[in-house]
Homo-oligomer: A and B are copies of this chain.
Amino acid sequence: MGFFILEKMYDEDAMENAVTEEKSLGIVEPKRLSLAEPPNELVLESGKKLGPVTIAYETYGALNADKSNVILVAHALSGDAHAAGLLKNEKKPGWWDAMIGPGKAFDTDKYFVLCSNVIGGCKGSTGPSSINPKTKKPYGPDFPMITIKDMVEAERRLLDRLGIDKLLCVAGGSMGGMQALQWVASYPERVRSIIPMATALKHSPQQIAFSEVGRQAIVADPAWRGGNYYSHGQPERGLALARMIGHITYMSDQSMEEKFSRRLREGDHTFSFAPEFEVEGYLRHRGDSFVRRFDANSYLYITKAMDYFDLSGDKLIPVDKKVGTRFLVIAFKSDWLYPAYQSRELVDFLKTRFVDATYCEVKSTYGHDAFLLEFEEETHLITHFLAKTAQAIHNGN
């Protein structure tokens, strides 16, 4: 990782800066599809019905004749469907642009790559800020609880509508990895391979605790108004604080030391509660910019979905089930939010099911953010894994 990326990270969210100097996809087209119109609503894991459901998505590359080259990329908590290329009149490429494009890890000369915004989100797919057809107002707290399984169900419906039966791969980091795992639990026969990165079969109490303090920061803000704030504006301070807490957990002790150490911000320094250390200014900047692009209620619903997620025990693959899905499990040494032991637990489980699984623990100092930044290592691992998976299909395995 060079100096270039570190500098960029200071200005923008790590997710939004997965930029390399290589050839990009150029202008890409945001797409939307309406699914689950009544009476054919989405039946959620809770038993409640949700409909109509709109899914925002993007695709990169071309679908081949036998539709065998489809890769679903799943985003993390604050991500969206814009994974690669540039949207018209925008300068910032998609959040995994360094990984998706011609000649890249998810090579659009070979593969048809699809990324959709999760339900519960706020970037085009139906979520708490969407209009509730019953009231003609935003759902707010009336939006039903959703789970990772529900997100995958919406993705499955999208693929059905696009006429795609089998996925060559589902790949994603953090909550994206949870979706990849859920695909295996829900539709193992439809997934040739998955690449769960920096993720877990279930949230530990520490992970739940960090989710919960973020949620508490939001609901403690009077501007949250019980979730009915859409005609007044966001609970900005609460959401910014949630994001600040999050950012600490996305970085590592070492990456913070390398990036900020105890350097002070420019300007006059008297003892005060104004941000004095660079790390304080950085966190406040990140918090403030987040509120301009993300909905507070979506933050609540999505973190809750992550906390509910639990494919431990034999829930990923039942004891008597034979699953042909190939796994490439990637963890990062300095990731203390989703520690490598959680990935190793997954791999240990896969061994008991005789699943074809490769595990790699990438040396990185970037902490949890590493999955968005360690392109070189990831490209090496993923390129090879996808080629082997495509070959196995070709050989009829």
Contact = CB atoms under 8 A, between A and B. Distances in A.
Contacts of A280: 208-209, 212
A201 to B, nearest CB: 11
Interface stretch (A71-79, A176-184, A270-278, A372-380): A270-278
Interface stretch (A59-67, A213-221, A321-329): A213-221
A283 interface: yes
Contact of A208 (B215, B262, B310, B336): B262
Tell which of A210, A222, A253 has the most Cβ of chain B within 10 Å: A253
A51 interface: no
Contacts of A208: 262, 277, 279-280
A310 B277 CA distance: 13
A262 B310 contact: yes
A284 B272 CA distance: 29
Nearest to A46: B271
Tell which of A256, A284, A310, A336 has the most Cβ of chain B within 10 Å: A256
Tell which of A210, A271, A339 has the most Cβ of chain B within 10 Å: A271
A173 to B, nearest CB: 19
A273 B307 contact: no
Contact of A238 (B220, B260, B272): B220
A253 B220 contact: no
A257 interface: yes
Given A145-B272, A209-B248, A217 B219 contact: no
Given A261-B205, A310-B262, A339-B253, A283 B212 contact: yes
Contacts of A213: 241, 244-245, 248, 283
A395 interface: no
A307 B238 contact: no
Contacts of A300: 273
Given A209-B248, A217-B217, A280-B209, A204 B241 contact: no
Q: How large is the interface on A (under 10, 10 to 19, 20 to 34, 35 or more residues)?
A: 35 or more
Nearest to A144: B271
A209 B275 CA distance: 11
Interface of chain A, main secondary structure: helix
B205 A271 contact: no
A275 B304 CA distance: 11
A259 interface: yes
B206 A256 contact: yes
A270 B44 CA distance: 13
Given A209-B283, A213-B283, A336-B336, A273 B204 contact: no
Nearest to A218: B273
Nearest to A260: B205
A221 B219 contact: no
B209 A279 contact: yes
A339 B382 CA distance: 34
Contacts of A259: 205
Given A271-B308, A310-B262, A248 B216 contact: no
A192 interface: no
A243 to B, nearest CB: 10
Contacts of A262: 202-205, 208, 310
12 contacts: A204-B256, A204-B257, A205-B257, A205-B277, A205-B278, A206-B256, A208-B262, A209-B244, A213-B244, A213-B248, A253-B336, A273-B300
Interface of A: 46, 144-145, 202-206, 208-210, 212-213, 215-217, 219-222, 237-238, 241, 244-245, 248, 251, 253, 256-257, 259-262, 270-273, 275, 277-280, 283-284, 300, 304, 307-308, 310, 336, 339
| 10 closest cross-chain pairs (CB), A and B | A145-B271, A205-B279, A205-B256, A220-B237, A205-B260, A206-B253, A209-B248, A212-B280, A206-B256, A213-B244
